[in-house]
Structure 1
Amino acid sequence: MTNGSRRAGLGRKIIAPALAVVVLAVGAHLWLNTNLFGDDDVCGGLVSADAAEDVFSHSGRLSDRDGPDDRPGDLLAFTCRVETSSFLPGSDDEHLTILATRERGDFPFTDDGRWPNPATVSFFSGSGTRATGAIGADHGWVLLPDACATADGPAVIEGYAPEGSDPVRFARLLTEVANHAAERADCASERPLTAPTALTSAPKARQVDAGTVCGLRGLEFPGPDGVTGARETVQDGTGPTWSCAVHDYATYTVTRDPHLVAGIRSSPGYEEQPRVAGHQVSGFDPRHVVADCAGTPTYFSLDAGDDYLSALEEPGAPRLRELFENFVDVAGERFGCTAP
């Protein structure tokens, strides 16, 4: 055997094991650090792997553990937790929680501590099959089609994403889950809901202008006289939902979104309320009501903050009833809702 033949044989003996090691290393990387060859969907088919990967900040192996936790008797009541894991240095596990629940129709505007303040989120809605929902810093929701509502209220897909997730991708995922859930519950529309392709940025806080609280001339400050330095966050967009939070004092909301209003009117406890600013209204209580504004049902709400409640004993603090009357009167002009 020549020296060349010996070297070739030795080379093959060295290269073959080395290649095997490389193949095993690549295979282990793909298996442990990506979702290649993994499931195409998780949560019982409700969440596509592609949509989940878009929300996470890095690639990894997707898992939903035991899958969705369904509530007996209601296909639109479940919880599912998706996680992505990777053994790459600096890649922490991330989690995405998806829930389907039934809520009182004005859930985004009630101060129960669960939902982001409506003045701080990016709302999206539109005509036809465009989805209605909102995205906050790491929390979002999308309404299911009106046909999915029952006597217990409208159905909502709610999600909690890793902090810093892309809001448009998050909205796309929640809309996809809403479509899949509606199909499973046999209440989907003829055409699926479409997610927004862009979102307006959440508004920034600013100092209150005493002459135009929340940008509305004539709106009374929701606190005692002489308060200075108060800040507010205002939704200044042209969409059907408007909201303003005067920090720690009050949150005001108006919506004419037809899907939100339909969910409000179909919810338990919705009934006739005392007239407000000359309008005949119905709702859940005297400060969460719907008025007929020139043929367009329009929802108004006011939630008081801790500083307002603490100031009720101080001179000059307006009563809640007075505040709400003033709000509906002033905001009504902006939305073409004048008293008959």
Structure 2
Amino acid sequence: MTDKSGRARLGRRVIAPVLAVVVLAAGAYLWLDTNLFGREDVCGGLVSSGSAEAVFPHSGRISDRAGLDDSSSDRIAFTCTVESSSFLLGPETEYLKISGSRERGDFPFSEYGRWPSPATVSFFSGGATGGVGSDHGWVLLPDACTTTDGPAIIEGYAPEGSDSVKFARLLTEVANNTAKRGDCASEKPLTAPQTLGTAPEPHRVQEGAVCGLTALEFPGPKAQARADVTETVQDSAGPTWSCEVDDHATYAVTQEPRLVAGIRSSPRFTEQPRVAGLQVMGFDPTHVVADCAGIPTYFSMEVHQGYTSALEKPGAPSLRGLYDNFVDIVGERFGCGTS
């Protein structure tokens, strides 16, 4: 009997410290590698910690070390970096950069290099208007937030491997919070998409069917159209179409109402020379809005090095000729006709 009691006491003495270590380890993990019992929001209340945590590919502690930078007098403008740090699972810290700003209305199509190619972006509209690329996304704020300086947007950079739907959800949430902060929220909050289209894969340009369209001219010497040049075509059922011919040109057309409204309300939007016989207004001769069967339709063309370096070669179309051909051929899909 004594031996059994002694063994029991010994067992309790061994188990108690082990349990204590397990509890401490579990507590350390929850505190250092998750956001349990952490802050509910960061960036001055604009970013929900839970929504930010969902975007990061790995678990970690959520913080905004430098906090919200809102030094501008514009209540829409700010920058903030959200961090997810993990002590037990590795020293690497992941970052989520969020900002609010005013942009020229055609920003997703006209600033090649800063924004993802529109041919690789998953656009969405309806409850909210925006787009998400591999690690970069944006959402328009409500129309009431637009001023003479242009429409307001939320822009974000997410770590590689982030879930695009959760990223769009976060950006939409921040857009709603920012609109409240700027006293321009709509009566009905913006709602994020439940699903997003898959980004298209690049493929070789087919002779006689650039961007999948017969009669669309190749943006370079004709002989080069048969070379190993790839293209990426964003051809979803939505109101935005885009095609990038690698290193040569990127085309985009949109009839998305809120995007076009932002374009038309931007500074320096004025009358431009006719394009393919159409009366147009815009920012310059290759970024314009035309009337297509009563629907304002935006056309954008950005040329790249593969085109500009070949301008002196035989068979290279002129910039004006290339753009006229683009508006003429692609415009047919959007109900455009000479007016």
TM-score (norm 1): 0.94
Shift of 1:11: 5.3
RMSD, aligned CA? 1.8
Shift of 1:92: 2.8
Where do residues 1-340 of structure 1 align in structure 2 (5 Å cutoff)?
14-90=14-90, 92-126=92-126, 130-227=127-224, 228-229=226-227, 230-340=229-339
Q: Deviations over 1:17-59 (max 9, x none)?
A: 4443333222222111111110111111111111111111121
DSSP 3-state at the match of 1:251: strand
Query: What is the rounded CA distance, in whole Å, between the counterparts of 1:307 and 1:135 in structure 2?
Result: 26
Query: What is the rounded CA distance, in whole Å, between the counterparts of 1:123 and 1:92 in structure 2?
Result: 31
Query: What is the rounded CA distance, in whole Å, between the counterparts of 1:244 and 1:19 in structure 2?
Result: 61
Query: What is the rounded CA distance, in whole Å, between the counterparts of 1:185 and 1:113 in structure 2?
Result: 29
List runs of 5+ in structure 1 lacking aligned partners: none
The structure-2 alpha-carbon separation of the partners of 1:71 and 1:259, relative to structure 1 and needing over 3 Å to count, comes to farther
Shift of 1:307: 0.9
Shift of 1:123: 1.0
DSSP 3-state at the match of 2:155: strand
DSSP 3-state at the match of 2:177: helix
Shift of 1:143: 0.9
Amino acid at match of 2:247: D
Query: What is the rounded CA distance, in whole Å, between the counterparts of 2:75 and 2:236 in structure 1?
Result: 35
Amino acid at match of 2:113: G
DSSP 3-state at the match of 2:310: helix
Residues 72 and 78, structure 2, Cα contact 8 Å, conserved in 1: no
Residues 33 and 89, structure 2, Cα contact 8 Å, conserved in 1: no
Residues 111 and 117, structure 1, Cα contact 8 Å, conserved in 2: no
Q: Deviations over 1:183-219 (max 9, x none)?
A: 1111111111111111111111111123221122211
The structure-2 alpha-carbon separation of the partners of 1:112 and 1:231, relative to structure 1 and needing over 3 Å to count, comes to closer
Task: Figure out how many residues of one structure are paired with residues of the other and give that number.
Answer: 337
DSSP 3-state at the match of 1:176: helix
Residues 112 and 302, structure 2, Cα contact 8 Å, conserved in 1: no
Residues 58 and 91, structure 1, Cα contact 8 Å, conserved in 2: no
Query: What is the rounded CA distance, in whole Å, between the counterparts of 2:111 and 2:73 in structure 1?
Result: 29
The structure-2 alpha-carbon separation of the partners of 1:256 and 1:16, relative to structure 1 and needing over 3 Å to count, comes to same
TM-score (norm 2): 0.94
Q: Percent identity?
A: 68
Query: What is the rounded CA distance, in whole Å, between the counterparts of 1:249 and 1:8 in structure 2?
Result: 79
Shift of 1:299: 0.3
Query: What is the rounded CA distance, in whole Å, between the counterparts of 1:26 and 1:201 in structure 2?
Result: 39
List runs of 5+ in structure 2 lacking aligned partners: none
Which is worse superposed, 5-14 or 321-330?
5-14
Query: What is the rounded CA distance, in whole Å, between the counterparts of 2:185 and 2:82 in structure 1?
Result: 24
Amino acid at match of 1:193: L
Amino acid at match of 2:190: L
DSSP 3-state at the match of 1:76: coil
Residues 171 and 195, structure 1, Cα contact 8 Å, conserved in 2: yes
Amino acid at match of 2:145: C
Q: Deviations over 1:249-270 (max 9, x none)?
A: 1111100001110110111111
Residues 245 and 251, structure 1, Cα contact 8 Å, conserved in 2: yes
Amino acid at match of 2:186: S
Shift of 1:282: 0.6
